Amino acid sequence: MNALLVLFDLVLLAGIVGVAWRCLASTDLFRAVVLFITFGLLLALAWVRLEAPDIALAEAAIGAGITGALLLVTLERLRSIMAERRSGRPHTPPPDPAGPHALLRALHDPPPERRTFIPALTFALVVGGLLATALWHQPQSVGLEPVVDAHMDVSGVDHPVTAVLLNFRAYDTFLELAIVLIALLGAWSLGRHDLIPARPAPGPILPGTLRLLVPVAIVTGVYVLWAGSHAPGGAFQAGAILGAAGILLVLARPHQLPMAPGVPLRLGITAGVALFLLVGVYGLAAGHGFLGYAEAWAYPLIILIEVAATLSIALTLVALFVAGRPAGDDA
């Protein structure tokens, strides 16, 4: 046991818990969101320490990156809605003489009341204590690692996590893609999207940077997707990187969103689930069971599903960021 590593673990955990605490104790929502993004990045470091580079990649790209962008755009939306409600009504009182700061204050949460302190603290301590005690007394187990290891040669890929995600436990991944799709349908069911309340940055710097960044993001995304078959990486991380590139493009032109025609967009968003289902039903018909593959076909089928899943995840993440059904689409 390396003393330095133990010290690193302790400092990292103290940092993670401290940042989470500051985030939840913050009365300013913007501050809370920035702390939450920091929390995600620190978590990615912890996942590396726990020998989970796949999760670290996903956490940095999805947990910190995409979730952070979603949270920030939500704050901006809330701010603009509140400003509109204040100024847009003839009978509402005029805006506070304090000016824009009054609007900023709308995104504050007052400190919680005293009377919830003791019950909440007791409840959290009891639940956390029980959880920790149960984990401490859990019997030592090697888990499913030997089983996965023994079947790697029939999985079609060389990376255990990808083998579990797209072969051994493909059903989980299929349902996961379905949940992503359902979340988007839920967001779309709330109505048309309004413009992202972002001010387009003046000057050539943002478009210039994007012209450099987006191709790099696309190459990185495709590499991460390809690498997933033999090294950490795969459809989710690649989808998140491509989705981030898409969000940057949307942010660069917030007021002239290219209104994607409904059908191609919908096809792209459902491609992952549809192809997965198709392969699953084919496996059932061919006698390998639902979502089972013939050994020789495992690799090409996994790659095919991963490409479709990457496309769907990237498009869905951008669509969730924009929020709301595409305008001019009455289907």
Within residues 272-291, the interface with other proteins by CB under 8 A covers: none
* Rounded Cα distance, 13 and 20, in Å: 11
Q: Cβ closer to other proteins: 147 or 286? A: 147
Of 186-194, 205-213, 218-226, 252-260: span binding other proteins (CB under 8 A): 186-194
227 makes contact with other proteins (CB under 8 A) = no
298 makes contact with other proteins (CB under 8 A) = no
Measuring CA to CA, which residue among 47, 45, 25 is closest to residue 35? Answer: 25
Of 65-73, 209-217, 218-226, 259-267: span binding other proteins (CB under 8 A): 65-73
Which of 156, 221, 236, 238 lies at the binding interface for other proteins (CB under 8 A)? Answer: 236
Residues 46/12, Cβ–Cβ less than 8 Å: yes
Q: Is residue 195 classed as helix, strand or coil in its secondary structure?
A: coil
* Rounded Cα distance, 48 and 276, in Å: 30
* Rounded Cα distance, 157 and 306, in Å: 12
Residues 100-119 that bind other proteins (CB under 8 A): 102-103, 105-106, 108-110, 112-113, 116-117, 119
Of 24-32, 201-209, 262-270, 278-286: span binding other proteins (CB under 8 A): 24-32
Q: Is residue 325 classed as helix, strand or coil in its secondary structure?
A: strand
Q: How many CA atoms lie within 13 A of 127 on its CB side?
A: 6
Q: Cβ closer to other proteins: 105 or 230? A: 105
Residues 55/67, Cβ–Cβ less than 8 Å: no
Task: Name the helix (H) or strand (E) containing 252.
Answer: helix 235-252
Residues 256-275 that bind other proteins (CB under 8 A): none
Alpha helices in 108-259 (DSSP H): 117-136, 145-150, 152-155, 160-163, 170-189, 205-227, 235-252
52 makes contact with other proteins (CB under 8 A) = yes
89 makes contact with other proteins (CB under 8 A) = yes
153 makes contact with other proteins (CB under 8 A) = no
Residues 132-151 that bind other proteins (CB under 8 A): 132, 135-136, 138, 140-145, 148-149
Q: At what angle do helices 235-252 and 298-322 cross, to 10 degrees?
A: 30
Q: Is residue 28 classed as helix, strand or coil in its secondary structure?
A: strand
* Rounded Cα distance, 185 and 319, in Å: 10
Of 74-82, 198-206, 266-274, 281-289: span binding other proteins (CB under 8 A): 74-82
187 makes contact with other proteins (CB under 8 A) = yes
DSSP code at position 128: H
Q: Is residue 192 classed as helix, strand or coil in its secondary structure?
A: strand
195 makes contact with other proteins (CB under 8 A) = no
Residues 6+ apart with CB under 8 A from 24: 32
Q: Cβ closer to other proteins: 109 or 211? A: 109
Residues 39/19, Cβ–Cβ less than 8 Å: yes
Cα angle value 37/42/46 (rounded, 5°): 140
Which of 83, 86, 260, 277 lies at the binding interface for other proteins (CB under 8 A)? Answer: 86
What is the closest distance, in whole angstroms, from the C-beta atom of residue 5 to other proteins in the complex? 8
What is the closest distance, in whole angstroms, from the C-beta atom of residue 53 to other proteins in the complex? 9
327 makes contact with other proteins (CB under 8 A) = no
190 makes contact with other proteins (CB under 8 A) = yes
Q: Give how many residues touch other proteins by CB under 8 A.
A: 113
Which of 241, 250, 269, 317 lies at the binding interface for other proteins (CB under 8 A)? Answer: 317
Which of 34, 168, 252, 329 lies at the binding interface for other proteins (CB under 8 A)? Answer: 168
